[in-house]
Amino acid sequence: MNGRITEAISVVLPVFNECDNLEPLHARLTSVLKPLECEYEVLYVDDGSMDGSWEVLKRLAAADPSVRLVRLRKNFGQTPALAAGLAHARHPILVTLDADLQNDPADIPRLIAALADSNDVACGWRRNRQDPWLGRRLPSQIANVLTQLVTGVQLHDFGCTLRAYRREVIQDVSLYGEMHRFLPVLAAWVGARIAEVEVRHHPRIHGVSKYGLLRTYKVLVDLVTLKFIGNFSARPNYIFGGFGLASLFVGLLSLMVVAYRVFVLRRLEATPLVFFMVVFFLTGVFSLFIGFLAEIVIRGFYDVQRRPTYYVRETVGLGRAE
Task: Identify whether the C-beta of residue 207 lies closer than 8 Å to the C-beta of residue 21.
Answer: yes
Residue 219 Cα to chain centre, angstroms: 10
- 18 lines the binding site for ligand UDP (CB under 6 A): yes
143's contact among Mg ion, ligand UDP, none, with CB below 5 to 8 A by partner kind, is none
Task: Identify whether the C-beta of residue 119 lies closer than 8 Å to the C-beta of residue 193.
Answer: yes
Mark 80-98 as b/e (b = at least 16 C-beta within 10 Å): bbbbbbbebbebebbbbbb
- 211 lines the binding site for ligand UDP (CB under 6 A): yes
Alpha helices in the chain (DSSP H): 19-33, 53-63, 78-88, 108-116, 138-151, 167-170, 183-189, 214-228, 237-259, 272-305
Of 75 and 231, the one with the shorter C-beta distance to ligand UDP is 75
Of 85 and 251, the one with the shorter C-beta distance to Mg ion is 85
Phi, psi for 101 (deg, rounded to 5): 70, 10
Site string for ligand UDP, 241-280 (x = CB under 6 A): ----------------------------------------
- 130 lines the binding site for ligand UDP (CB under 6 A): no
Member of 66, 68, 77, 107 binding ligand UDP (CB under 6 A): 77
Q: Which residues pair with 163 in a beta bridge?
A: 96, 123
- 14 lines the binding site for ligand UDP (CB under 6 A): yes
Distance (Å, whole) CA 79 – CA 152: 22
Q: Nearest distance from residue 232's CB to ligand UDP, in Å?
A: 31
The one segment of 32-40, 92-100, 216-224, 301-309 that binds ligand UDP by CB under 6 A: 92-100
The one segment of 145-153, 209-217, 277-285, 307-315 that binds ligand UDP by CB under 6 A: 209-217
Q: For the chain, how far is it from start to end, CA to CA, in angstroms?
A: 30
Distance (Å, whole) CA 178 – CA 283: 36
Q: Nearest distance from residue 76's CB to ligand UDP, in Å?
A: 7
Residues binding ligand UDP: what is the number (CB under 6 A)? Answer: 16
Binding region for ligand UDP (CB under 6 A): 14-16, 18, 47, 75, 77-78, 81, 98-100, 102, 209-211
